[in-house]
Amino acid sequence: MSDGRQGATLAATLRSRLRFAVAWVIGGAAALFVANLLSYWAIPVVVVLLALCWLGLVIDGLVRSWRLRAAGIPALLPAFVPIVALPFAGFLASHALYWSHVVPSWWLLRSERAAFDRALSGGAVPAGVAIVERAGPRRAFPTVNGRAIVHDPTDRMAEARGWNGGPVAAYIRNVFGNTTIWCQRLDSHWFHCQFG
């Protein structure tokens, strides 16, 4: 095989491997987002499927690298593509899981905004919320799995940025009697908060 044909074959192989890797990264993040929205128990299934797909990409890359071994060091590139994709997958997966926690609260607040505003002044509790918890000027509307929509006119909940184990200030940590893990602003004084 001539060097030109080898180079063309290697380039075509890399393009197809890169397309598969990009599809794996973006599709995996989307699958994690949907799985977390549907059910926490769907996540292990998605993670196993993504791990098997990644293993398939690695094995395929090794086989293609072996077939192209006459090209020297560049022949190793197909095997490295899945390895290089891992940090990007981790970054997107973290963001997908974060936003799949926040989006249901954002949607509930958006669709039931008038009911939430009435509940602040003692009206009926909005749909999807069992109780209202009070802590000073703050009101928490617990939803599911330790999540709550919180109204905080002081905006101090914005400082609870502890996603993935980051620090949370002491005056926010136990504001509702539960450990505040992290919060995300939804709209003006409204926040999505995760409690432990």
Report helix, strand or coil for 140: strand
Decide which of 69, 101, 133 is a domain's last residue. 101
Pair (19, 96) in one structural domain: yes
- The pLDDT > 70 percentage for the chain reads 89
Q: What is the pLDDT of residue 5?
A: 67
**96, 33 contact by CB (below 8 A):** yes
**51, 27 contact by CB (below 8 A):** no
| 106 within a domain of the structure (yes/no) | no
Pair (137, 189) in one structural domain: yes
Question: Which residues make Cβ contacts (< 8 Å) with residue 133, sequence separation at least 6?
Answer: 139, 140, 141, 142, 148, 176, 177
- List the alpha helices (DSSP H) in 121-180: 170-173
Global pTM value = 0.74
Query: Which residue range is the domain that position 191 belongs to?
Result: 112-195
Decide which of 101, 120, 136 is a domain's last residue. 101
Pair (46, 85) in one structural domain: yes
**109, 149 contact by CB (below 8 A):** yes
When mean pLDDT is compared across 64-73, 83-92, 114-123, 135-144, the lowest value belongs to 64-73
Sign of the CA dihedral with 170 first, then 175, 181, and 183 last? negative
The residue to which tokens 């060097």 are assigned: 3
Pair (9, 87) in one structural domain: yes
Pair (190, 129) in one structural domain: yes
Q: What is the tally of structural domains in the chain?
A: 2
- The yes-or-no verdict on residue 109 having pLDDT over 60 is yes
Beta-ladder partners of 191:
150, 185
Report helix, strand or coil for 35: helix
Beta-ladder partners of 195:
180
Measure CA of the first residue to CA of the last residue in the chain; give whole Å.
62
The model's pLDDT over 45-87, given as tens digits with 9 standing for 90+, comes to: 999 999 999 998 888 888 877 877 776 667 677 778 888 889 9
Decide which of 82, 101, 120 is a domain's last residue. 101
